[in-house]
Amino acid sequence: MKKILAIHTGGTISMSQGVNGGVLPNEKNPIDNNEVLGLTDIQLENDELLNLPSPQMTPATMLRVKRRIEQAIDNGIDGVVVTHGTDTLEETAYFLDLTLPNTIPVVVTGAMRSSNEIGADGVFNFKSAIQVAASDSARNKGVLVVFNSGIYAARYVTKTHTTSIDTFKDPVYGTLGTVDHGQVSFAQQLLGSAYSQIDHVVDHVYLLKASAGMDDLLLNAVNRPETRGVVIEAMGAGNLPAAVLTSIKSLLKAKIPLILVSRCLSGAAQPIYAYEGGGIELRSLGLTFCEQLNGQKARIKLIVGLSCGKTGTALHNYMANALS
């Protein structure tokens, strides 16, 4: 019998709709009920570690989840499920993917409908995630996200819809596998599984998004002594308005790492265009192009890289390669 630890952190999966229609946290987690799941062949342990709406999650609380998982690994657990609010689920999942050894299945899940809504998806997603965490085929695949029968790599999955129960997708590679009536099947293997051991997280790492007519106001605002790094969601393949180049140069002069991703849903930022503000110029100035990560994931990776002491060329290489 497999032993699975469920770490609950809050979110819609643990909430209920109140009398006025608003969704609110419960004092008692409504899915923390092993009898409802009907999993007679799995020994489930529940840990109510946090009870936070996911916009309140931070890298520091993600670190708490990581430490709890490491403790469970040391105690011989066979797999871990983390329940989480969906707004920042992909960030916590990727943080865990970057900072945990790839030894046991770690699966993150949540819900789009609160526990007392018609068609609530929390119990189904939770049960599916437990089944994946207990599956031998889920080992050595990095941290996984299980949602609405799909199994996704934490590295690439993202929330694509504000309310649909089918919100989590990998826009580049699709699902790694599926859960169908308890049958866990994988069709793809994730490549690369490096991790970094950290015992703290740095702060003052910012994410900005480029837009038409953007000036240098926001970039100048983050040019402060305490700033550790900035991720910029650039246009297209990795281009910025010429109006921000002066502020870009000032940030680089202050030795603040600048990481470039695309604001597009899929595809990698690449230095293709040679016009003023184009990717070729941005790379020549010293910006790092980050492969195939969206802005929020790149920020999490930058936080992890800085927290484990990477600087200069080591930090550039770490951020430039999505597989590292």
Q: Is 86 a catalytic residue?
A: yes
What is the DSSP code string of 214-255?
A: --SHHHHHT-STT--EEEEEEBTTTB--GGGHHHHHHHHHTT
87 is in an annotated binding site: yes
Which three-class secondary structure state does DSSP give residue 177? strand
Joined together, the tokens standing for residue 267 give: 């595809």
**Distance from CA of residue 20 to its chain's centroid?**
32
- The active-site residue, picked from 9, 12, 83, 288, is 12
Instruction: Confirm if 90 and 143 have CB atoms less than 8 A apart.
Output: no
- The active-site residue, picked from 9, 61, 83, 86, is 86
Joined together, the tokens standing for residue 269 give: 């930022």
54 is in an annotated binding site: yes
Question: Which has the closest alpha carbon to 105: 74, 68, 79, 75?
Answer: 79
Q: Name 134's Cβ contacts closer than 8 Å, sequence gap at least 6.
A: 2, 4, 42, 78, 79, 105
Q: Is 167 a catalytic residue?
A: no
The annotated binding site is made up of 54, 86-87
Catalytic amino acids?
12, 86
The annotated binding site for substrate is made up of 54, 86-87
